[in-house]
Amino acid sequence: MSKSTPLNRFDVDVVVVGAGPGGCMLSYLLARSGVKTALLERHNSLDREFRGYFFQPLVLKLFDQLGLLEDILRIPHERVDMFKFVDHGKTLFEVRFDELEPPYNYGLNISQPPLLEYFIQQSSRFSNFTYFGGTTAKNLIKRGDSVHGILAINQEEEIELHSRLVVGADGRYSTIRKLADISQTMDKFEFDFVWFDMPKALGKDYPLQIKIEDEGMLIYIPKGEDQVQVGWVIKKKTYPELVKKGIDDFIRTLIVIEPDLQDVLPYHLKSFKQCSVLDIQVGMTDTWVRDGLLLLGDAAHIASPFSGQGNSLAIQDAVIAHDSIMKAMTTQGSGVLQESFLKNYELYRKPAVAEIQRIQAMQARLIAIKNPTFLGLRRTVAPVARRTSLFKKMRDKIAMGVQKIEVNTSFFLSQES
């Protein structure tokens, strides 16, 4: 683009970068609270690369507090009453959501694109909300150490968005975090996941589960009425070796784990092009807020896939960030929102996310045991531990979070504007 091309300038209160669950949730909360909000998404379509489908029971409660749950449940979805870990044909333990207090006693498997589109549509009912699809953040607008907005490209057209706050909700490889030069503390993780979609075999049930055998670990995630998402756990950075052996060898390995797959897999999985590799990372961004800047979801912290926490954590972040942003705006009055007014969000959420990461690490260690002695101990102790109060407390943290999360509706407009 020529340097002489005039810039398009937009003045808003908050720019949210990234239309994932956290970014869409926060944008809706802000728009409904009368905040002039711009939501940017670099893709033209919301239907893209691997996205987690699972939402914990707490998310149902938060959707209900917004008055949106009834609408959301009209989107095709699957109710999840439990997920289980099966060790050599024996149920190691189950996490049962149906034992929670109704009505939030189940998880939700729902495709992300229609859910995100729904939130964008709801936000668009407010005149103070603007959605920029196909728009890539290129740089931060800074004055000294404060962030005052972003420079972005929208279909080869350069735009300026000046704001009181920029929110990076743009995932684990966050552009906003990199532009702000904010560091991360990363933990080592031994695994990567290979994912693919598969049609369900006629009459076959595919519960949400992890299945462990000598040959490896297989994950089933129900995905609508006629499809299931299948995950295969591999040692980190070994995917090229898997590909080199060929798709037929991969299929044979999976069938050894789950013989029923022979009825579907050879006719469906023809190429590794049908697979996606999830590079599992676990990390925590060293700071979540600065003057004029806030990070949430994977941009602030990266959780492992164990127990399906990613979507729930991002939405919890959005709810608490909304409360902190609104209070900062009320207290500060005008100008770029200061770190000192936003810090409560980080101080509240960071320990909770760290605790979930510790629970996930414990699950990963339990599942990864190879020593025969410890394997026998795992198969004996885990089913007994499932009946203890300690296990139930862990289940409650997985399902409902580790701290109180409530939508602050006091800032909402009385009607659409």
Last residue in a domain, options 243, 261, 278: 278
CB-CB contact of 109 with 208 (8 Å): yes
The CATH number of the domain where 211 resides is what? 3.30.9.100
The answer to whether residues 66 and 137 belong to one domain is yes
Q: What is the pLDDT of residue 1?
A: 38
Do 243 and 207 lie in one domain? The reply is: yes
For residue 29, what is the domain's CATH number? 3.50.50.60
Shared-domain flag, residues 172 and 250: no
Boundary-marking domain end, from 251, 278, 305: 278
Residue 255: count of CB within 10 angstroms of its CB: 16
Domain count of the chain? Answer: 2
On whether both 71 and 172 belong to a single domain, the answer is yes
Is 370 part of any domain? yes
How many CB atoms are located within 10 Å of the residue 205 CB? 9
28 Cβ neighbours under 8 A, 6+ residues apart: 66, 119, 122, 123
Q: Where is the domain boundary, 278, 299, 329?
A: 278
* Residue 411: inside a domain: no
Q: Is residue 413 part of a domain?
A: no
Are residue 271 and residue 376 in the same domain, yes or no? no
H or E element at residue 17:
strand 14-17
Within this chain, do residues 162 and 212 fall inside the same structural domain, yes or no? no
pLDDT at position 394, please?
86
pLDDT at 201: 80
Domain co-membership, 354 together with 376? yes
Domain assignment of residue 322, given as a range:
8-79+107-187+283-404
Give the Cα-Cα-Cα angle 332, 334, 338 (nearest 5 degrees). 55
- Are residues 56 and 202 both part of a single domain? no
Q: How far apart are CA 58 and CA 101, in angstroms?
A: 11
In order along its 417 residues, the chain shows pLDDT tens digits of 334 444 699 999 999 999 999 999 999 999 999 999 999 999 988 876 556 789 999 999 999 999 999 999 999 998 999 888 888 788 877 889 999 999 999 999 898 999 999 999 999 999 999 999 999 999 999 999 999 999 999 888 999 999 999 999 999 999 999 999 999 998 877 788 899 999 988 778 788 888 888 778 888 888 777 888 898 988 888 999 999 999 999 999 999 888 888 989 999 999 999 998 888 888 999 999 999 999 999 999 998 877 789 999 999 999 999 999 999 999 998 899 999 999 999 999 999 999 999 988 877 777 666 656 656 666 666 666 667 788 788 889 999 999 999 999 999 997 665
Cβ neighbors of 351 (< 8 A, separation 6 or more) are none
Q: Look at the pTM and tell me if it is higher than 0.85.
A: yes
Tell me if 275 sits within 8 A of 265, measured CB to CB: no
CB atoms within 10 A of CB 11: 12
88: in domain: no
Residue 2: its pLDDT value, please? Answer: 39
pLDDT recorded at residue 377 = 63
